[in-house]
Structure 1
Amino acid sequence: MNAEILTPSQYDELDRFVASHPQSSFTQCSAWRKVKSNWGFEAVACRNDAGEIIGSVSVLIQKIPLIGTCFLYAPRGPVCDLHDRQVLRCLKSGVDELARRYHAHTFKMDPDVPASDEEFLAIARELGFRRFYGPEGFETIQARFNYRLYLQGRGEEELRMNLTQQTRRNLKIAVRDGVEVRPVGTEYLDEFMRLMTLTGERDGFAIRPRAYFERFLSALGEHARLYMGFYEGRAISGAITTNFGNKTCYVYGASDNECRNHMPNYLMQWEMIRWALETGCSVYDFQCFG
């Protein structure tokens, strides 16, 4: 079993594999390189005897100015059976080759795995990885913990009935007050940026530039949506969400300082959960906790 560094002509095959795997993540598909256009990109695959991909890791490459080295990062990678030592070792050998090729000093990965998975952690240690988090662990790149709603075998009515009483009440307020939530085109990006700016100022975080969100929506195409919430024709809430493989992910959200009493964000989340149900996703990921 040998690692293979894929060529761009093989990226469609990579994407089909990633989308079909339980460990799928939109940040591991080849389109992500177009979003992170200021990084380089390579993809490593491991194949079985039939030539089928059974493991992959998509790697972003950040050059470090002046010193001629790089930082390698696999967001939510690798995509494989995380308890398969042979496949993980194969993928690691491919990453080692990339590290030599790009003179990298560090490779970081943050796979989609429970923090309590001691079997995976043991394999990772065997392969030379160290587990760390906090300010030294680049925690701002991906949240350490995600909050997820599992949808497998559940319908809209069951999900609604399992919401807390307060959440159901807030949904009713949004509907009663005439809030409308719908997916929109990029012609609403300026309104979304207005809301993002207000949210960043209110909650004390830096926001990405408009061009980033434009690339995000363009690169992911049908796998991403911009949702906007309206009250009396005015945009008061916005969100960007992805739908890739078995997961729908709430990635960015913003809201106005006014009209929050109409509870637009509750209806926003509910409409995005409905998209996950309609497309057969097994997970709705609220992301970004911790």
Structure 2
Amino acid sequence: MAREARLIGPEEEKRFDAFVAGHPKGHFLQSYGWGEVKASTGWQPLRLVLEEEGRIIAAASLLKRRLPYINKAILYAPRGPVVDFHDPDLFSEILAAISRVARQEGAILLKIDPDIPESDRAVKELLQEKGFRLAARGTGFDGVQPRHVFRLDITPPLEELLANMHSKTRYNIRLAEKKGVVIKEDCTLEDLPVFYEILKETTLRDHFLVRSYNYFETMWREMVERGYAKLFLALYQGEAIAGTLAFIMGDKAWYLYGASSNRHRNVMPNYLLQWTMIRWAKEQGCTMYDFRGVPGDLDENNPLYGLYRFKKGFNGVFTEFVGEYDLVYSPFFYWLWQTAFPLYSHGFRRLLFWRKKARAAEE
């Protein structure tokens, strides 16, 4: 049967997302809307489909970015492509289609970080056979997407999910309720600045960068309004003290952004927020809830161990993915990108962080 690969436009957005949502390896990072979010940060989204008799059988949302100073680009398929990796012929076809796009766009590499467990030797062998090389090897948050996550099967009844949690986690959920923490689920765009202020407070406390408010406004427009994300706020005595952004695609949900104030942390709002999001995901028909990144280094002296312990308390399964793989189209420019560009990027990010911290101290 004849198969055709082609790039699509916005008129096929719903059809594209329907395929991604219904595929076992579909991910919100491969949605049409997420490409629009990344377009606000300098990436150009390209949506590719592979069809058979008019039916999509594989797809990829590709993010293209021009490299500084040279007329070249990189392609990145976050948690993609959306394809059955255990069908080598189908994977070869979508990969060949991506490579044609890469040549047209002057790309020096294709980066992927598929939703495939580290234990899947067959897929790792397939990637190596196709010329991919492992890119990120760290145990922390070295890659673009986290390599280690906690995932919770939420198909059991709520009572069973709660009973399976660590006793301290259950205690903290009930403590938050007893203390009067209320979760606001009907958030609107007017609540977004409140969440963002708490997020800025969190980043200063925990020493990481935060994107601009405009980025979150774009995320609201492209993901929340499409029904692929939802904002939750924890209120205590009428004050918002914590918040989260959850994402959904098909039968899967992800916890992506979390923020907590320095005030009233003793009433444990983050535990009740997670429990509320799990219940929400289950109500939406989801079967899996992803807590997102945790460190791969499980030493208790690791500064990120507290994050691991918090997420582990909900009884999710510690999951390690195969990691980032690069398919190199231009070895020389790839070497240049691997050596010179990281130095430029690291210096710029550090400068940006300290400028933001200085401005916050002046306010």
User: Which TM-score applies when normalising by structure 2?
Assistant: 0.76
1:92 Cα deviation from its structure 2 partner: 0.7
1:69 Cα deviation from its structure 2 partner: 0.5
Q: Within 5 Å, which residues of 2 pair with 1:52-201? A: 52-134=55-137, 139-152=142-155, 154-183=156-185, 184-201=187-204
1:141 Cα deviation from its structure 2 partner: 1.7
2:348 match: none
Task: Answer yes or no: is the 8 Å Cα contact 1:70–1:102 preserved in 2.
Answer: yes
The CA distance in 2 between the partners of 1:36 and 1:118, in whole Å, is 32
Amino acid at match of 1:26: F
* Unaligned ranges ≥5, structure 1: none
Task: Answer yes or no: is the 8 Å Cα contact 2:136–2:143 preserved in 1.
Answer: no
SS at match of 1:192: helix
1:8 match: 10
1:288 match: 293
Q: Deviations over 1:21-60 (max 9, x none)?
A: 1111111011112111221011222223x33111111100
1:140 Cα deviation from its structure 2 partner: 4.2
Task: Answer yes or no: is the 8 Å Cα contact 1:46–1:87 preserved in 2.
Answer: no
Aligned length: 287
Q: Which has the higher contact order (CA 8 A, sep 6+)?
A: 2
Q: Deviations over 1:177-206 (max 9, x none)?
A: 000012211211221111111111111100
1:34 match: 36
Task: Answer yes or no: is the 8 Å Cα contact 1:46–1:54 preserved in 2.
Answer: yes
The CA distance in 2 between the partners of 1:33 and 1:244, in whole Å, is 14
Give the one of 202, 206, 215 matched to 1:203: 206
* Structure 1 range deviating more: 126-135 or 77-86: 126-135
The CA distance in 1 between the partners of 2:20 and 2:261, in whole Å, is 36
Q: Deviations over 1:103-148 (max 9, x none)?
A: 011110111010111111111112111123147xx93421111211
SS at match of 1:275: helix
In structure 2, the CA distance between the partners of 1:139 and 1:59, relative to structure 1 (3 Å rule), is: farther
1:18 match: 20
Matched, 1:238 2:255: no
Give the one of 212, 215, 222 matched to 1:212: 215
* Unaligned ranges ≥5, structure 2: 296-363
Amino acid at match of 2:291: F
Matched, 1:44 2:68: no
Task: Answer yes or no: is the 8 Å Cα contact 1:186–1:226 preserved in 2.
Answer: no
Amino acid at match of 1:271: T
Task: Answer yes or no: is the 8 Å Cα contact 2:149–2:290 preserved in 1.
Answer: yes
The CA distance in 1 between the partners of 2:29 and 2:271, in whole Å, is 26
The CA distance in 1 between the partners of 2:231 and 2:294, in whole Å, is 21
* Structure 1 range deviating more: 62-71 or 265-274: 62-71
Q: Deviations over 1:211-257 (max 9, x none)?
A: 11111121012211111000000010011111111111100000011
Matched, 1:279 2:281: no
